[in-house]
Amino acid sequence: MHSRIAGTGSYLPAAVVTNFDLERRMETTDAWIRERTGIERRHIVAPGETTVDMAEHAARAAIAAAGCRPEDIELIIVGTCTPDLVFPNPGVMLQARLGCRGVPAFSVEAACSGFIYALSMADKFIRAGEVRRALVVGAESLSKITNPNDRGTAILFGDGAGAVVLVADEQAGIISTHLHADGAYIDLLRATGGVSAGHSPTGDVIQMAGAEVFKVAVTMLGRIVDETLAANGLEKSAIDWLVPHQANIRIIQATAKKLAMPMERVIVTVQDHGNTSTASVPLALDVGVRDGRIKRGDMLLLEAFGGGFTWGSALVRF
Q: Measured from the CB atom, is 3 or 255 closer to ligand UT7?
A: 255
Quote the DSSP letter at residue 136.
Answer: E
Catalytic-labelled residue, pool 19, 89, 248, 275: 275
Q: What are phi and psi of 157, to 5 degrees?
A: -95, 145
* Least distance in angstroms from the C-beta of 52 to ligand UT7: 22
Shortest distance in whole angstroms from residue 43 CB to ligand UT7: 16
Looking at the chain, which runs of residues are DSSP E strands? 2-11, 15-18, 41-44, 75-79, 105-108, 133-141, 159-169, 174-181, 189-191, 206-208, 241-244, 299-306, 310-317
**Between residues 152 and 193, which has the closer beta carbon with respect to ligand UT7?**
152
Q: Shortest distance, CB of residue 291 to ligand UT7, whole angstroms?
A: 24
Residues forming the site for ligand UT7 (CB under 6 A): 28, 32-33, 36-37, 112, 151-152, 155, 210-211, 213-214, 217, 247-248, 251, 275, 305-306
What is the nearest approach in angstroms of ligand UT7 to the Cβ of residue 285? Answer: 17
Give 26's DSSP letter: S
Judged by CB, which is closer to ligand UT7: 173, or 307? 307
Residue whose C-beta lies closest to ligand UT7: 210
φ/ψ of residue 79, rounded to 5: -90, 125
Q: Known catalytic residue: 68? A: no
Q: How many Cα neighbours within 13 Å face the side chain of 151?
A: 14
- 3 state DSSP class of 248: coil
Own/partner long-range contacts of 100-104 (Cβ < 8 Å, ≥24 apart): 100/70, 100/71, 100/72, 100/73, 100/74, 100/76, 103/73, 103/74, 103/75, 103/76, 103/131, 104/75, 104/76
43, 57, 178, 245: the catalytic one is 245
Nearest-angstrom CA–CA distance, 174 and 166: 9
Q: Is 275 a catalytic residue?
A: yes
Q: Is 149 a catalytic residue?
A: no
**How far apart are CB 101 and ligand UT7 at their closest, in Å?**
34
Nearer to ligand UT7, 103 or 256 (CB): 256
Report, in Å, the least distance between residue 14 CB and ligand UT7: 24
Q: Residue 154: what residue type? A: A
Q: Which of 112, 178, 248, 273 is catalytic?
A: 112
Task: Report the distance separating Cα 300 and Cα 316, nearest Å.
Answer: 5
**Nearest CB to ligand UT7, comparing residues 119 and 155:** 155
Q: Which is nearer to ligand UT7, 130 or 212 (CB)?
A: 212
- Say if residue 12 is exposed, middle or buried (CB neighbours under 10 Å; 0-12, 13-18, 19+): buried
Q: Which residues are catalytic?
A: 112, 245, 275
